[in-house]
């Protein structure tokens, strides 16, 4: 397998090849995602929701992110592995931010980190980049700021917020980030941003005018059936499929159909 690198992502943008990105938080899922040739695996802090059942991404810790990331690293042979730096581990000061980023890189073996925010975290972003750690930005609906927004609705519909987002994107490019995630913003704004920077812009709920797409793998597979944003395309309904299979197992145990003689020693 030829490993996808931050350099190959920039080349993909230059060649007009769209980048595919998907989350994974554990070994078994990461193996499937990697084998399907997904370019970038994001060990997202959405693990807080999807894996741990929290309502927001805020509670997940640096140690927990490192645990998820190291599991993914052991599985993925081809994809570039990007890890979310969790809430509270990079906002207080740039030294702590760098320390957190170093822990992720050293203890998990992942290839890059992702931060939420723009100019307000400039010192931290610069410091992490100076240590040679590739950084991806994340703008628009940044879930670690959900209590500031108060809702999960589309961001940057108003001029002021759109202008700030464009400035943040230019800042992240200038300072040396290798890519930017744009979450839940108008498609025309996302396209404008993607056209204005040389680094890849990966969208989620940001339309088709960007350089690539990212989804939470459990959403794409239909394992999280109560989550229904319009940007989500469901490729399977695994919630029902898995429920049916497990229900059949229960019935087979109860009826003594399982195990049969071929399944016994």
The residues that are catalytic are 183
Contact criterion met (CB below 8 Å) for 237 and 227: no
Binding mask 168-187 for ligand KIV (x = CB under 6 A): -------------x-x----
Binding mask 211-240 for ligand KIV (x = CB under 6 A): ---x-x------------------------
Query: Phi first, then psi: what are they for 232, rounded to 5°?
Result: -85, 125
Identify which of residues 2 and 148 has a Cβ nearer to Na ion in the complex.
148
Q: Smallest distance, Å, CB 45 to Na ion?
A: 4
With CA atoms as reference, report the closest residue to 201 among 219, 221, 220, 187: 187
Q: Smallest distance, Å, CB 215 to ligand KIV?
A: 7
Please identify, among the stretches 43-51, 64-72, 129-137, 249-257, the one whose residues bind ligand KIV according to the rule CB under 6 A: 43-51
39 binds ligand KIV (CB under 6 A): no
Query: Phi first, then psi: what are they for 58, rounded to 5°?
Result: -65, -40
84 binds Na ion (CB under 5 A): yes
Strands 179-183 and 19-23: unpaired
Q: Smallest distance, Å, CB 180 to ligand KIV?
A: 11
With CA atoms as reference, report the closest residue to 193 among 220, 165, 153: 165
With CA atoms as reference, report the closest residue to 231 among 206, 248, 253: 206
Is 11 annotated as ligand-binding? Answer: no
Whole-number Å distance between alpha carbons of 41 and 2: 15
User: Between the CA of residue 5 and those of 77, 101, 135, 248, what are the distances in Å?
Assistant: 12, 18, 12, 44
Site of interaction with ligand KIV (CB under 6 A):
23, 42, 44-46, 84, 181, 183, 204, 214, 216
Site of interaction with Na ion (CB under 5 A):
44-45, 84
């Amino acid at each position: 397998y030829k490993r996808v690198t931050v350099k190959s992502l920039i080349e993909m943008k230059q060649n007009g090849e769209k980048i595919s990105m998907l989350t994974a938080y554990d070994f078994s899922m990461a193996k499937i995602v990697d084998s399907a040739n997904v370019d970038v695996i994001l060990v997202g802090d959405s693990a807080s929701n999807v894996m741990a059942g929290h309502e927001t991404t805020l509670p997940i810790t640096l140690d927990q992110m490192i645990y998820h990331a190291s599991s993914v690293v052991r599985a993925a042979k081809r994809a570039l592995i990007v890890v979310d730096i969790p809430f509270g581990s990079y906002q207080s000061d740039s030294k702590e931010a760098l320390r957190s980023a170093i822990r992720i890189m050293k203890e998990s073996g992942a290839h890059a980190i992702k931060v939420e925010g723009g100019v307000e975290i400039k010192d931290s972003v610069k410091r992490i980049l100076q240590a040679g750690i590739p950084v991806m930005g994340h703008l628009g609906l940044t879930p670690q700021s959900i209590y500031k927004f108060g809702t999960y609705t589309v961001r940057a519909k108003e001029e002021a917020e759109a202008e700030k987002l464009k400035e943040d994107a230019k800042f992240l490019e200038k300072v040396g980030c290798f890519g930017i995630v744009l979450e839940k913003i108008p498609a025309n704004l996302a396209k404008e941003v993607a056209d204005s920077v040389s680094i890849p812009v990966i969208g989620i709920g940001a339309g088709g005018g960007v350089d690539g797409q990212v989804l939470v793998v459990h959403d794409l597979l239909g394992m999280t059936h109560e989550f229904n944003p319009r940007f989500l395309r469901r490729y399977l309904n695994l919630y029902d499929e898995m429920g049916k299979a497990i229900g059949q197992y229960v019935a087979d145990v109860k009826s003594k159909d399982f195990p049969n003689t071929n399944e016994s020693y």
